[in-house]
Amino acid sequence: MGRRAPGQVSDAAAGVGDAEQAARRLTGLARRRQGLARALPLLGMAAVVALVLAGCGGAQPYSTLSPKTSKADDIQNLYRIIFWAATVVFIGVQAAIVYIILRFRRRNEDRPEQIHGNRRLELAWTIIPAVVLLVIFIPTAQVIYNHASAEENADFSVDVYGKQWWWEIQYPNIPGSKEGPDEHLTTANEIHIPQGADVVFNMRSNNVIHSFWVPQLSGKKDIIPGHDNKLQFKADTPGEYFGECAEFCGAAHAWMRFRVIVEPKPVFDAWVAAWHQPPPVPDANPTTADVNDTPPAFGVCLVCHRVSGTNAQIAQQGINANVESIGAGPNLTMFGCRHTIGAGILENTPENLKTWLEHTDQVKEGVYMPNYYKAGQIKDQQVAELVDYLGKLKPAGGCPPEQPFGGGTPVAGS
């Protein structure tokens, strides 16, 4: 607004009175002050939000700001460096803007001196960002290399298969049942690990790219078809940690959730021992637990789901399972002890299980599990039998003790 095209006649030369000119100058100044007064509270608010975010992160259970492993700590420290560097840059830039607005405000109608280039400034804005980037780069590279070597040295293996849209979890060094030691303990969406174990997750997918993320325990790691990725961490604080898929992988991506349950070694061992107890099947020899003794309606489930300790072993598992999860669903062993249904979408209660069986595709849009109830292949009576049977898929003595959320003394599960 203060610009005049070259050659344009100045107001003074056109004969405008001195008083009028001074008045106009004052109004312009007042307007600029007003603009500044409006901007200042906004700057203040931004600074407060930044400080609150930096300071209160520890209270958020599902947040990257409350790390619970040394690995997540390393990442948090990098974040702190970047956060405070960005804060200094932000405050510096805002202060410079305020200074320039005040120092170089228009005081008269004269054209300011026209300059081109400034070697000192150009050097400054090349060197300062280079130093800032170096300060971020060196510790970042160190952390990347340290974490990569930790992946090679970890000794407790867990295989993670990204499915659409759930997680298959295998323990390659723990047999799935007493009878079939060649089969690995295989579960879904709830990953039990012993406290303090140096765990390496071997991650595989044969469908699309997923990303394994437990914010409090580690950074994200992509699960890429045709390429095994590893992720390591050692969790020393018992508790239940929230995880999710962090790479868009199709319709139900947002409902590809999981939990990592970190428990003291004896509690973990009790969980494995419970796994090796065949489920109590009504009217059947508990050592054989023949699925012929399960409700007949369970026959349609067997095509996709296995139950360790029984002869329900038709469904595919692991990397060779069907790409789109058709014919390969979660292993249902100890289903009665699981916390959620449908990869975190419903709490595991008989009412919710009924809802899941009757309205599968409405509860979880895009799900590959067919709705046999809607198709008329199972009726209310069969749904009730299935809910009853699945709820009983737990050891005869009840679920193993478990670590409550946030750590503390183990409590007996129901």
Which residues lie near ligand CUA (CB under 6 A)? Answer: 162, 165, 210, 245, 247-249, 253, 256
How far apart CA 155 and CA 170 sit, in angstroms, is 15
Q: Which two tokens stand for residue 231?
A: 């992720």
CA pair distance 193, 187, nearest whole angstrom: 12
Burial letters for 158-185: b for 16+ Cβ neighbours within 10 Å, e otherwise?
Answer: bbbbbbbbbbbbbbeeebbbeeeeebbb
Torsion angle in degrees (nearest 10) through CA of 388, 392, 393, 397: 180
3-state SS assignment for residue 67:
coil
Q: Which residue lies nearer to ligand CUA by CB, 249 or 332?
A: 249
Minimum separation from the CB atom of position 200 to ligand CUA (A): 20
Could you tell me if 217 and 71 are in contact, meaning their C-beta atoms sit under 8 angstroms apart? yes
Nearer to ligand CUA, 50 or 209 (CB): 209
In the numeric block, the tokens 């993670």 are attached to: 160
Q: Give how far the C-alpha of residue 137 lies from the chain's centroid of Cα atoms, to the nearest Å.
A: 24
190 touches 259 (CB < 8 A) = yes
In the complex, least distance from residue 363 CB atom to ligand CUA, rounded to whole angstroms? 18
* DSSP letter string, 296-348: GGGHHHHTT--BTTTTB--S--GGGS-TTSTT-----TTGGG-SEETTTTEE-
CB of 248 to ligand CUA, least distance (A): 6
Query: What is the nearest approach in angstroms of ligand CUA to the Cβ of residue 165?
Result: 6
Distance from C-alpha of 313 to C-alpha of 303, rounded to nearest angstrom: 9
Q: How far is the CB of 242 from ligand CUA (least distance, A)?
A: 15
187 vs 325, beta carbon nearer ligand CUA: 325
- What's the start-to-end Cα distance of the chain, in Å? 74
Give the number of other CB atoms < 10 A from CB of residue 327.
13
Among candidate residues 213, 255, 221, the one with its CA nearest the CA of residue 367:
255
Closer CB to ligand CUA, 162 or 336, in the complex: 162
Decide whether 253 or 338 has the Cβ nearer to ligand CUA. Answer: 253
Instruction: Provide, rounded to whole angstroms, the least separation between the CB of residue 166 and ligand CUA.
Output: 9
Distance of CA 358 to the CA centre of its chain: 29
Closest to ligand CUA by CB, 136 vs 224, is 224
Choose between 68 and 253: whose C-beta lies nearer to ligand CUA.
Answer: 253
* Residue owning tokens 């008083």: 19
For ligand CUA, give the closer residue by CB, 212 or 268: 212
Beta bridge partners of 325: none
Neighbours of 335 (CB within 10 A): 22
Query: Which residue's CB is nearer to ligand CUA, number 54 or number 254?
Result: 254
Whole-number minimum distance, CB 111 to ligand CUA, in Å? 59
Give least dist CB 61 to ligand CUA, A: 22
Q: Which is nearer to ligand CUA, 253 or 364 (by Cβ)?
A: 253
Minimal distance, residue 258 CB to ligand CUA, in Å = 10
